[in-house]
């Protein structure tokens, strides 16, 4: 057997390098062990009897657990204390909870076969509290009846995607500066060292910008025409009242008006009013909000009208 002391310097250095490489070799199941340890820590915080600070904290904790496991979470049923609007219990479910409604889907013409995502999974987290007490975990079901997503796809899960306030400010400022949405997202992905670290996907960005476009301010020409109409009506009718709200750039945002008939109805039937904000216009997405009272024949009578921008 050859003595190590008799080896050449080159051979000794080679042996030392091999020992270092062997000592730095990462086991194949190292990543799995890390994921399992994270899941174990989160599961320990979700055991029955554990205290949570609020409903929001419980949902975030369950989302973290779900993403570590490879699934998506969503909010479920809730219950309030009797005769109050104060929450008594809240549930958070696996996104595969429930099943497809075969009765309604059977009446539709199938254009393409959708992927079945509801497997009637029973996994859930339920928190409850006593009146004025602290929130505690009252039920935690871990078993799932479906396969989990791999770790390299969990960033695509719906509950794992959210555009934070800081990233939203960056997105809107760059788009308003004339940079395309695609280039902005590419820049933010590079800054986050990959799309899996961004926190949302490109579709979320386009949907967000599309919602912003729906809230466009009223154009000057149309706004001036409407204001001129209100002025003419006020000159002809003594009881016609109108008001307008401007934004920080002195652009018209909201309108409020009533005529003579509305003022009379308000005087007689204005004790109890209801407001309905489900009516919208097509161009500016302005919300038409009529203030409605009930007259003696139990019929609706409008006493005010408003046009609002969300």
Helix ranges (DSSP H) in the chain: 9-24, 30-45, 55-69, 102-105, 165-176, 181-191, 202-214, 220-236, 260-269
Domain ranges, ordered by start, for the chain: 1-100+115-160, 162-214, 220-308
The pLDDT tens digits for 146-160 are: 888 888 888 888 888
Measured between alpha carbons, how far is 125 from 39 in angstroms, rounded to an integer? 15
- pLDDT of amino acid 279: 64
pTM: 0.53
- pLDDT of amino acid 125: 92
- pLDDT of amino acid 30: 45
- pLDDT of amino acid 24: 45
What the block records as the tokens of 114 is 């959708």
In order along its 310 residues, the chain shows pLDDT tens digits of 445 455 554 554 555 544 444 444 445 454 555 556 778 888 888 889 999 999 999 999 999 888 888 888 889 899 999 888 888 999 999 888 887 766 655 555 655 556 667 888 888 999 999 988 899 999 999 888 888 888 888 888 888 888 888 888 888 888 878 888 889 889 998 988 888 888 888 888 888 887 776 555 555 566 777 788 888 888 888 788 888 887 766 667 788 888 888 888 888 887 778 877 666 555 566 677 888 888 888 888 888 888 776 5
């Amino acid at each position: 057997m050859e003595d190590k002391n008799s080896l050449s310097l080159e051979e000794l250095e080679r042996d030392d390098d091999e020992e270092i490489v062997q000592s730095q070799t990462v086991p194949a199941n190292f990543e799995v062990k890390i994921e399992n340890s994270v899941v174990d820590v989160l599961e320990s915080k979700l055991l029955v009897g554990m205290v949570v600070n609020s409903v929001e904290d419980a949902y975030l904790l369950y989302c973290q657990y779900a993403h570590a496991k490879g699934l998506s979470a969503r909010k479920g049923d809730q219950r309030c204390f009797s005769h109050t609007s104060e929450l008594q219990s809240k549930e958070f479910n696996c996104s595969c909870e429930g099943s497809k409604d075969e009765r309604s889907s059977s009446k539709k013409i199938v254009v393409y076969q959708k992927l079945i995502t509801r497997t009637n999974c029973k996994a859930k987290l339920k928190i409850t509290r006593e009146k004025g007490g602290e929130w505690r975990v009252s039920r935690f079901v871990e078993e799932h009846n479906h396969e989990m997503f791999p770790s390299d796809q969990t960033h695509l899960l719906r509950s794992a995607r959210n555009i934070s306030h800081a990233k939203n400010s960056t997105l809107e400022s760059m788009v308003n500066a004339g940079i395309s949405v695609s280039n902005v997202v590419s820049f933010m992905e590079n800054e986050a060292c990959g799309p899996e670290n961004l926190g949302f996907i490109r579709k979320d960005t386009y949907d967000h910008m599309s919602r912003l476009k729906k809230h466009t301010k009223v154009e000057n020409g149309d706004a001036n025409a409407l204001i001129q109409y209100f002025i003419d009506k006020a000159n002809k009718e003594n009881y016609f009242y109108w008001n307008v709200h401007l934004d920080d750039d002195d652009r018209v945002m909201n309108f409020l008006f009533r005529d003579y008939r509305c003022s009379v109805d308000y005087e007689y039937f204005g004790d109890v009013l209801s407001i309905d904000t489900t009516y919208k216009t097509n161009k500016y997405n302005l919300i038409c909000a009529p203030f409605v009272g009930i007259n003696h024949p139990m019929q609706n009578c409008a006493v005010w009208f408003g046009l609002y921008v969300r």
